[in-house]
Amino acid sequence: MSRNSIGLCCLVLWLSPRALHSQTAYRDTLRILWWNVENAFDTLDDPETKDEEFTPSGRKRWNTPRYHRKLNLLAKGIRSACMGRVPDFIGLCEIENTQVLDDLILRLPWEWDLWACHQDSPDLRGIDVAVLYNHEAWRLDSLEFIPAGMDQPSRDAIWTRFNPVTDAHGWPIDLLWMHLPSLRQPDERIRKAVLDHALAERTVDLLLGDLNSHPDGPLGVWMVAQGFQRVPGRGNWGTYAFGSKWSFLDHGWLSTRTSLAGRMEPIPFGISTKTARIPSVKPTFYAGNYYGGASDHLPVMYHIWNTGALPYIYTSITTR
């Protein structure tokens, strides 16, 4: 598969008027899911990336049953997080390629009319960011894949501009989706430089992603100085568990130049409790051993609403 291709996937679905209304009749709150899906690799060796360990003969013994189990769990986690309702947007990271994205979409509810934005990035391991959106409610007006701007190749960020299909569906929104360089790179200035490069000369209402940094750390302080405020959290967990420790690596930031507000909610999918005091997420792999979970990150649901006055839509009345 070409590393420069852009996968645009569409599930064409026909719904009855009642079913269509139930899926897309708009609330005044956007539902946006973000999830780091922990190495969602297929089983094939891509000669252009370092994915050899995720093959049947590789170190992780990554085979077809394990691949299908992971995709089934990811689809189950997305359905659980969305409570059976089609979300407005889904952001994913650590997706290997368009085929993996296609295989995941096919496991989601058939009535979710989702289109996808994705291209293979220059990341050395071949893991990418991808965006799904509810095509019944939203129109993608602008799309940009933003290189990391580093000497060492890394995953692209995705900038999207969406407009509602009808006036009843919400308001225009510019979204930036990111997966910043790994914590294996201890220098926080590198993550800041990648983030600064992605934000430069772009309008961003809401930034979402795995920023590989705690929101109260230096990166968060810098974001506040740039005119952003963190979407406040809800729940007693973090978004990522390593060993027996929780951390908030996944977070969202709203521009203070907008009238948007919101809250984030880590979804307790895949949580296991070793003791009453030490919860953890069941990962796919941990310390090189296979555990068979969906991901070492929790899916995170963002609820975003507009606090400003929205225009009243008058119904046209024709008299005879």
Give per-residue pLDDT as tens, 92-111. 999 999 999 999 999 999 99
What residues contact residue 130 under an 8 Å CB cut-off, 6+ apart? Answer: 91, 92, 93, 95, 101, 116, 117, 118, 158
d(CA 136, CA 112): 9
Is-contact 77 69, C-beta < 8 A? no
Give per-residue pLDDT as tens, 107-124. 999 999 999 999 999 999
Residue 9 has pLDDT above 80, yes or no: no
Percent helix / strand / coil, the chain, rounded to 5:
20, 35, 50
d(CA 250, CA 296): 12
Instruction: Domain ranges for the chain, please list them.
Output: 30-306
* Residues 28-56: b if buried by 16+ CB within 10 A, e if exposed: ebbbbbbbbbbbbbbbbebeebebebbbe
The structure tokens listed for 13 are 């679905």
**DSSP tag of 312:** P
Residue 287 has pLDDT above 50, yes or no: yes
Partner residues linked to 169 by β-bridges? none
The structure tokens listed for 202 are 């772009």
Residue 319 has pLDDT above 70, yes or no: no
Mean pLDDT, rounded, for 235-250 = 81
**DSSP tag of 168:** G
The single residue listed with the structure tokens 């096919």 is 106
Predicted pLDDT of residue 241: 78
At how many degrees (to 10) do helices 188-199 and 218-225 cross?
Answer: 30
| Fold for the domain defined by 30-306 | Deoxyribonuclease I; Chain A (3.60.10)
Partner residues linked to 302 by β-bridges? 32, 264
Q: Terminus-to-terminus CA distance in the chain, angstroms?
A: 61
Predicted pLDDT of residue 273: 64
